[in-house]
Amino acid sequence: MYDVIILGAGSAGLNAASIFRKKDANYLIVHHGFKGTTCASRGCMPSKAFIQVAKSFHERRKFNDFGINGGDQLNVNIPHAMAHVRSLRDRFAGGIINGMDKYNIIYGQSRFIDPETIEVAGKRYQAKAFIICTGTSPSIPAPYKPYANDMLTTDNFFDQKDFPARIAVIGMGAIGIELGQALARLGVKVTGINRSNKIAGLKDAEILSVAKDILSEDLDLILCKDVTKVEKRGNGYTLHLETQKIECDKILLAAGRVPNLDGLGLEDIGVKFADNGLPAIDLNTLKIDNFSIYLSGDVNAYRPLLHEASDESEIVASQLLELKNPKRRVPLQITFTDPVIAQIGQQPDDIEEEIVTGSVSYDNQGRARIMGENRGMLKVYASKRNQVILGACMIAPGGEHLSHLLALAVQQKLTVAQLLEFPFYHPVLEEGLRTALQHISDPCRDCVTDRLC
């Protein structure tokens, strides 16, 4: 009998395995499907490589203003760019695949026989505990199912050698808006369709509105509308919405992801499923009811992000190895659009106490203007009672760095005054944050002015 069997050698599973391996525990990984983790081979890494190419190409738009000639003549060689993305992807994924041999690992689809036993390729394996780390797969909504084999998803997107002239992107969550904007900047006519009035899951209506305006410069956004019918026409498709039709050559599905639980037989051993179709887990322990079975990483659909997947494996491993239980970190979600969208800590609708909000527009922020990236908005939410910083939201240049500074402030429960005690250099994008904080500490200040220099 093993101490623990881990299902899935993705980021969560391999991280859990490395903890058990270091502790000399009697563990086994059972892996099924592609090797090399979603993050490295189909997710974070190739998508950021693709976005970087698009961002670099887009820089040419500033060149005339900067006095640099010839920007208009630049062009992008998509097959070459995609080969570059794949070479980075293969390097990242290759490192992980090469390292898999050091683990006690077998391959095949598992099925629970009872809460302590699984069967893989006709052989039974028993363990005191199981960690299900099987991740997610792209969702294929009903109207697209007849053409599933021809759909682009992130499972095949980075293997494309070239892209057609018009692509409809279904879903404007993190994946859809990141890849949609990048495709548009590489010359594809992109229509982004989202069923709800959301982009990248933004909860702040004002930032959402700013984001819509900025991102509409690159792609056509159709929000709050549903595709009722998909029709194949020659080499392309017609998407029928309630009051309009969209013609496109290809469809990229980015309409969410489905946890990989099929075939595990959890229902047969008495696991109860919640309204969201997933096994009900305690979010502190990630444990299913009275079973010694845990769901870690994207498969539990709680915070489907890489750093959370790693943390969740530590949360589970620490319980099984009776180690100190790590605390959950402050929520931090970054979407790599240009400018970056980020949500940090609690958002206004989740906050139960009265709040004060400080905001700053980046439209006239000094350093952003120098960079030719002066667009966006940042909002900071603080407790009205004691001005402790509770959360923030932005679409702002340098947002991936600003959001880390704000996550630190939220996690350390800093007040607005305490954060303002730190130095803010001049001229930097962080001075915008300073202005937003001053907007809270001194509401009479003009919130759009930067420091005088």
Ligand X SMILES: Cc1cc2nc3c(=O)[nH]c(=O)nc-3n(C[C@H](O)[C@H](O)[C@H](O)COP(=O)(O)OP(=O)(O)OC[C@H]3O[C@@H](n4cnc5c(N)ncnc54)[C@H](O)[C@@H]3O)c2cc1C
Ligand Y SMILES: NC(=O)c1ccc[n+]([C@@H]2O[C@H](COP(=O)([O-])OP(=O)(O)OC[C@H]3O[C@@H](n4cnc5c(N)ncnc54)[C@H](O)[C@@H]3O)[C@@H](O)[C@H]2O)c1
* Closest residue to ligand Y: CB criterion: 173
193 binding partner (options ligand X, ligand Y, none; Cβ < 5 to 8 Å by kind): ligand Y
Supply the minimum distance, in Å, between the C-beta of residue 97 and ligand X.
11
Contact set for ligand Y, span 224-263 (CB under 6 A): 226, 254-257
Burial class (CB in 10 A: 0-12, 13-18, 19+), 397: buried
37 binding partner (options ligand X, ligand Y, none; Cβ < 5 to 8 Å by kind): ligand X
Tell me whether strands 245-248 and 236-241 are parallel, antiparallel or unpaired.
antiparallel
Instruction: Give the residue from 28, 9, 158 showing the smallest Cα distance to 98.
Output: 9
Count, residues near ligand X per rule CB under 6 A: 36
- Residue 439: active-site member: no
- How far from each other are the two terminal CA atoms of the chain, in whole angstroms? 70
- Is residue 337 near ligand X by the rule CB under 6 A? no
Q: Considering only residues 44, 76, 301, 447, which one is a binding residue for ligand X as defined by CB under 6 A?
A: 44
Which tokens sit at 138?
């792209």
| Among 84, 240, 307, 426, the one annotated catalytic | 426
Quickly list DSSP for 213-275.
HHHTTTSEEEES--EEEEEEETTEEEEEESS-EEEESEEEE-S-EEES-TTS-GGGGTPPB-T
Supply the minimum distance, in Å, between the C-beta of residue 197 and ligand Y.
9
Task: Answer yes or no: are the C-beta atoms of 304 and 136 closer than 8 Å.
Answer: yes
Q: Which amino acid is at 250?
A: K
Residue 450 marked as a ligand binder: no
Supply the minimum distance, in Å, between the C-beta of residue 448 and ligand Y.
29
- The rounded distance, in Å, linking the Cα atoms of 452 and 447 is 13
Q: Considering only residues 18, 25, 32, 105, which one is a binding residue for ligand X as defined by CB under 6 A?
A: 32
- Is residue 340 near ligand Y by the rule CB under 6 A? no
* Closest residue to ligand X: CB criterion: 10
The site string for ligand X over 266-305 (x = CB under 6 A, - otherwise) reads -------------------------------xxx----xx
Which tokens sit at 159?
């293997």
Quickly list DSSP for 423-448.
---TT-THHHHHHHHHHHH-TTS-TT
417 in helix, strand or coil?
A: helix
The binding site for NAD(+) comprises 171-178, 256
| Residues carrying an active site annotation | 426
The binding site for FAD comprises 48, 298
Task: State the residues that interact with ligand X by CB under 6 A.
Answer: 7-13, 30-34, 37-39, 42-44, 47, 109-110, 133-135, 154, 175, 260, 264, 297-299, 304-307, 309
